[in-house]
Structure 1
Amino acid sequence: MPINSSAKPEPVTITEPSEALRQYLIQTSLKKLFMDVA
């Protein structure tokens, strides 16, 4: 039982940072584009 509980939170934690990284990358590219245009 403890093994299942530990295995479940692992994928959830990996998915969370992935989304945060995606948003950060989008924000940085948008800022770079805006700076280039300006």
Structure 2
Amino acid sequence: MALFFAQRVTLGKTKYSEVPSTLKPAVKEILVENGLTFLVTEE
């Protein structure tokens, strides 16, 4: 599920702030590993 949400954040379909709180750490890790740290925002 984390990979699914990371992909949605990358594609702009879901904001990081909309990711379920239980998945945020894993999604953040995936985004950071892929050089997409700028997408990890709590707007």
User: What TM-score bracket applies, with the shorter chain setting the length?
Assistant: 0.3 to 0.5
Q: TM-score, normalised by structure 2?
A: 0.31
- Give the structure with higher Rg (CA): 1
- Specify which structure has the bigger relative contact order, considering alpha-carbon pairs within 8 angstroms and separated by 6 or more residues: 2
Q: TM-score, normalised by structure 1?
A: 0.35
